[in-house]
Structure 1
Amino acid sequence: MTKFLIVNADDFGIHPAVNRAVCRGFESGILTSTSLMAGGAAFEDAVHMARSLKGIGIGIHLTLVGGLPTVLPSKEVPTITWENGRLCSNYLELIKRDLRGMIRMDEVYREWDAQIRKILDTGLPITHIDGHQHMHMWNHFFPIALTLAHKYHIPCMRVPDERLRFGFGLNPGTIFRFSAKNGLSFMARNHREKIHEMGIHTNDYFWGMMYGGHFYESRMLDIIDRLKEGVNEWMCHPSADANAMEESFHWGYHGEAELMGITSLAVRKKLEINGIKLISYGDLTKI
């Protein structure tokens, strides 16, 4: 069986620096796919660029976190916009609020529905659906994401189930990320069967959660040797200006290094030597 690889850039539309990196990664590198944020400040710029990137897969990046504005007026979704009328800054705060019963699921549904319709209204061909900080896999939100994917006939959904032992380390930051990664991976793995029951295709393997914002060339070269037969996805966060991104979002991402990785001749050559076939989510219905 062939080893397939989807290389997906998240956060398309969040900032012009990301948009430029997506364009460069697709035209000069191994990038095959990207996920568009309806609430991103550079959304219109991303849509304009996407029209010229013939063959790139375009996904919908469902968003409930990141300090971004909602597509609906914030007063219509007050339980998910409690921070100055914007979405909360990170998934931990969102999950804490949800576990306290403070989030209304109908607001999540209506906001995500509005995000999907905004992107579909551009006329861009949509290949898949995923989530910012993977919140489409959180147990309480997953049924909503699945219902909407089925409603709008979106053919594929990302399942971020990175391998259990991958990325283990002993420093405190790594231990926390490793634990969070495995918790999310466990949930995602359990959802795969329901996704398939709805006739929606998924990736088989996933890479990039442990390396989020730090998926360097050296790490890409190492992971090529770990790719499995079937459909693998690399999630990356390239940027053409890491300093500008840090000033806006304070994530500590090294987006320029990730862009160097996906445009690396060494990475491309190793993929070719190993017989890895680059695809997008749009190809899953043909495999």
Structure 2
Amino acid sequence: MNTAQRLGFEKNTKLLIIHADDAGLAHSENQATIQALEKGIVNSYSIMVPCAWFHEMAMFAKNNPQYDLGIHLTLTCEWENYRFGPVLSVSEVPSLVDKHGHFFKKREQLRENATPEDVEKELRAQIEKALNYGLAPTHIDSHMYSVGSHPDFFKIYKRLGKEYNLPVLVNEQLMQMVGLDPKSNLEEGDFVIDRTYVGEYRYFEKEGLAAYYQSVLENLDPGQNLILIHPAFNEHEMQGVTINHPNFGSQWRQQDYDFFTSEKTKATLQKHNIQLVTWGDIKTSCSF
């Protein structure tokens, strides 16, 4: 049986997770994510444990277990002025940080400098911190998909999923995006999301992201689909966090929020018979 059948749907059903990345990054990100969840269109999110606003979102997650929650495993920090580093002390994972003790900005730097031992220690520490807060994650995923920057890191990522009995976000498009060969890094039995969609800069730069997302929904294929968004508000905090970073910047994140909290989007899902499912549904129906 395919995923749709395991979840009780017809074989050719269009399944969709609308997932909000980067909760915990900033107060604006948290508030937009919460509102997007409460409006009922976004049906999954994940938290960045090392970030300054993790505690606020963790308290929300603990008090609202009805929402699908992931751990957004973090090994990179792409921002110019907003910098953060590992949960563990720098002395414990020295290969993961730059001279200031912050995560590297780029996946390439992570690949060139990080040791698998330090990667595993830090990722495990992030999961354990979330669990120690009393959170009950439904899955794990990865910020910037940095776990795919090296085959050894990807093996650790999948192994942690099995150890904690959690599905991990595995998708061939994301693997190819970070230069990881799917053929040599996927194994029989891996749960793989059929298609993943992330906003495209060419749309943002011209007519805006709504046109891209509308096209995705109107042309969605049967199978397990995932749309990754990053909702936040275009105000001073996010403008400061994302300065000189227009792709996935504060305007981008506002557009994500606006589209996926709109009545038009709800109507589009209904019109095209798209079924919203969660990682929690998948975890319950599929073995890991």
Q: Which TM class, normalised by the smaller chain length?
A: 0.7 to 0.9
**Residue 29 of structure 2 corresponds to which residue in structure 1?**
18
**Residue 55 of structure 2 corresponds to which residue in structure 1?**
44
- In 1, distance between residues paired with 2:171 and 2:236? 28
**Residue 71 of structure 1 corresponds to which residue in structure 2?**
87
How far the C-alpha of 1:225 sits from its partner, in A, is 2.1
How far the C-alpha of 1:260 sits from its partner, in A, is 0.0
Structure 1: segments with no counterpart, 5+ residues: 163-180
**Residue 232 of structure 1 corresponds to which residue in structure 2?**
225
Answer yes or no: is 1:80 the counterpart of 2:101.
no
- In 2, distance between residues paired with 1:124 and 1:184? 30
**Residue 211 of structure 2 corresponds to which residue in structure 1?**
218
> Match of 2:152, SS?
coil
Q: What does 1:65-144 correspond to in 2, within 5 Å?
A: 65-66=76-77, 67-95=83-111, 98=112, 102-138=113-149, 139-144=151-156
The 1:53–1:232 alpha-carbon spacing in structure 2 relative to 1, beyond 3 Å, is same
- In 2, distance between residues paired with 1:243 and 1:280? 32
Answer yes or no: is 1:201 the counterpart of 2:200.
no
Identity of aligned residues (%): 26
- In 2, distance between residues paired with 1:44 and 1:13? 7
> Match of 1:141, SS?
helix
- In 2, distance between residues paired with 1:184 and 1:117? 28
Q: C-alpha deviations, 1:142-189, integer Å up to 9, x for none?
A: 0111111111111x1112433xxxxxxxxxxxxxxxxxx783276364
**Residue 253 of structure 2 corresponds to which residue in structure 1?**
255
Structure 2: segments with no counterpart, 5+ residues: 1-11, 78-82
- In 2, distance between residues paired with 1:211 and 1:3? 26
- In 1, distance between residues paired with 2:145 and 2:235? 22
How far the C-alpha of 1:103 sits from its partner, in A, is 2.2
**Residue 285 of structure 2 corresponds to which residue in structure 1?**
286
- In 1, distance between residues paired with 2:98 and 2:25? 20
How far the C-alpha of 1:105 sits from its partner, in A, is 1.3
Q: C-alpha deviations, 1:1-40, integer Å up to 9, x for none?
A: 2111101111111111110011111111410001111101
> Match of 1:45, SS?
helix
**Residue 153 of structure 1 corresponds to which residue in structure 2?**
165
RMSD over equivalenced CA pairs, Å: 2.4
**Code of the aligned partner of 2:225:** N
Q: What number of residue pairs does the alignment pair up?
A: 260
Q: Give TM-score scaled by structure 1 length.
A: 0.82
**Code of the aligned partner of 2:262:** S
How far the C-alpha of 1:242 sits from its partner, in A, is 4.7
**Residue 190 of structure 1 corresponds to which residue in structure 2?**
183
The 1:224–1:111 alpha-carbon spacing in structure 2 relative to 1, beyond 3 Å, is same
How far the C-alpha of 1:216 sits from its partner, in A, is 2.5
- In 2, distance between residues paired with 1:243 and 1:92? 30
- In 2, distance between residues paired with 1:185 and 1:286? 29
The 1:258–1:213 alpha-carbon spacing in structure 2 relative to 1, beyond 3 Å, is farther
